[in-house]
Amino acid sequence: MAIRDTKGDPSGTWDEVEWSDMSSDEQALWKVLGWTEGSWQEDDDEPESNELYWEDLSKAQIEAAQKLGFTEDLWDDEDDEDDEDDEDEDELASPDLSPCPGGELTRRAGDGAEGQGAKRPCVAGILLR
pLDDT for the residue 115: 47
- Tell me the whole-structure pTM to 2 decimals: 0.61
Same-domain status, 103 and 80: no
pLDDT of 53-82, one tens digit each? 999 999 999 999 999 999 999 999 875 555
Ranges assigned E (strand) in 7-104:
97-99
Number of domain units in the chain:
2
Domain that includes residue 87, residue range: 10-91
Surface-to-core class of residue 40, CB atoms within 10 Å of its CB (0-12 exposed, 13-18 middle, 19+ buried) = buried
Same-domain status, 72 and 116: no
Please report whether residue 18 resides in a domain: yes
Same-domain status, 60 and 123: no
Residue 45 has pLDDT above 50, yes or no: yes
Please report whether residue 74 resides in a domain: yes
Same-domain status, 76 and 115: no
Same-domain status, 22 and 54: yes
- Percentage of the residues of the chain whose pLDDT score is greater than 70: 59
Q: Are 123 and 104 in contact (CB under 8 A)?
A: yes
Same-domain status, 81 and 115: no
